[in-house]
Amino acid sequence: MENHNLNSISFTQVKINDDFWSTRLRNHQNTTLKACLEKCETEERILNFERTYNGNADEGFTGVAFNDSDVYKVIEGVGYSLQNNPNKELEEYVDSIIDKIGMAQQEDGYLDNYFVLGRMDEKWTDMMAHELYCAGHMIEGAIAYKNATGKRKFLDVAIRFADHIVDVFGEGKKNWIVGHQEIELALVKLYRETGEKKYLNLAKWFIEQRGHNNEWTDKVWSREKYGGKKYNQDDKPVRELSKITGHAVRAMYYFCGVADVAAIEDEESYMEALYRLWDNTVNRNMYITGGIGSSRDNEGFTGDYDLPNDTAYCETCAAVGMVYWNHRMNLMTKDSKYVDIVEKELYNGVISGVSLDGTKFFYENPLESHGDHHRKEWYDVSCCPTQIARFIPSVGDYIYAKDEDGVYLNLYISNTLTTEFRGKEIKITQSTNYPWDGRVNIKIEKSVDEEMGLFIRYPSWCKTMNVEINEEKINNYEIQKGYIKLIRKWSENDEIHLNMIMPIELVKSNVKVKQNLGKVAIQRGPLIYCIEEVDNENIDDIKIDSRMRFLSEYKSNLLNGCVVIIGKKDDKKVVAIPYYAWDNRKPGKMKVWIKNEEERLYDLL
């Protein structure tokens, strides 16, 4: 039996009508999905499946070993999109792709085009070949598509592949360390979908294999490009982990799988490790934007407080992974500090990965650019575009959660929630101009004839929040793990008004981050700001300090509408825009951390 303290409320129960997010959701459906599907066609991701079922092994496989996963991730994104935005033409097109996937599957359930097309004698021989990574994304995509359309064809393909994997791996079978984690969390999803305990058992087995002295993995990770078993989080068993190491995306997917198993099987030792890893990640290895992974050499971590800005890796996939992991941690703990990270990622580290028109993508998200870093339409390794394709339409998953006591309001996004509480339907609407404005109106449209709790997140960035219920100010509200606790018998048309004051703040880095000594960053509400050369002359010479007069101004005709921050002192002027929106206009330099005129103070610390 699962031991989640909170239950996630699916985005299918949430109708978003928000100025900020609705634009992104429309761009995703109309532009991003189509762009990724077209690239899967033109870059021969889909053609690889056709070659497999036609027996054209002599034509060979196009691209990197894990190209199959891009197709699966886009299908997952289509599934999420279709649930709230039915599109017959798009569905029929994806059905035709699924037909090709099904025809490419081998008799024993195996399906990986990289190996079937000329390398079958090598299957299940190379831990770094991403076979299980591709299988995991197949499972996730298949579940999403079945839930959207009711069609089981893709799910049946995924189940046959999963059954093959169960036959090959496990206690007394083939020894294995997963090269790129993903299968673990996917198998837990499949367990939840089917109720088949064998998938959960195998997910845990894969987790438990890591961190032991396996001679085979010693040889794999000793290769110079990996730099040891820490690269793959294979240096210690999960229960002994305390520091985040190695490849950032691998780490995120690993921790998600560990959290999923811990939630179901009440593995407290797993949770203790996750608490330590979270503290080390967030407080010593995370950028102010929520980005993680400072090194391009290993696409991950080097050491605590090593956070260079211009060479920061901060892979888009890793930012999405942080959302996945922190969402799980919130469900298990009812602690809003994890949602603070979800929000930081959403408004900074994730959406920076896609252009405002939805057509171009960042793989890396540095915090400083010399003018030579730009989004691209596609990459040879296109995990980040397809990650965005599957993530954006599911953003509604993170707005609410619930338990036996009531509903937890995690994110401030205009929407209508229709769900059940103790078996009866409730309906709640939320109206706001967040993240530009901290005022939020919550209305009870339909309630139950008994007490119900509303637990409203008090964001970590917020210093002052005013709360009113039906225009009566609430002065002595209780805060529980970062949530304002409001329990009462609600009536229809009851309204809660929130007003979160959004001052412009100059943020200092931890003095142990040497790269940021003598510098400050600008934050307003959940948003981190940056300066771009297109708005500021001589960007390398700009210095700001607390004596500047800062103003915020909403500009509807700039960057799809955004609040700009303007700093003035004497004849000096600095213009800052939200970090997520940089590189959407004229190419040029960019900085998040800006020189401070009081920098000598930092040098003395």
Residue of 399, 484, 468, 321 lying closest to 18 (CA atoms):
399
CA-to-CA distance for 266 and 271, rounded, in angstroms? 9
Burial pattern 147-164, b for ≥16 Cβ within 10 A else e, equals bbbeeebbbebbbbbbeb
The three-state secondary structure class of 534 is coil
What is the length of the chain? 605
| Cβ(373)–Cβ(366) below 8 Å | yes
Would you give the end-to-end CA distance of the chain in angstroms?
A: 52
CA-to-CA distance for 131 and 125, rounded, in angstroms? 10
Q: Which residues contact 598 (CB under 8 A, 6 or more apart)?
A: 545, 546
Catalytic residue selected from 256, 314, 383, 562:
383
553 catalytic residue (yes or no) = no
In order, the DSSP letters of 534-578 are TT-SSGGG-EE-TTSEEEEEEETTSTTSEEEEEEEETTEEEEEEE
451 catalytic residue (yes or no) = no
Phi, psi dihedrals of residue 538, rounded to the nearest 5°: 50, 55
Half-sphere exposure of 180 (CA within 13 A, CB side): 20
Q: For 360-413, where are the alpha helices, taking DSSP H only?
A: 383-391
The token pair at 329 is 């941690």
Cα R_g (the chain), whole angstroms: 24
Catalytic residue selected from 131, 267, 299, 364:
299
| SS3 assignment for 321-334 | HHHHHHHHHHHHHC
CA-to-CA distance for 32 and 388, rounded, in angstroms? 8
Residues marked active site are found at: 299, 383
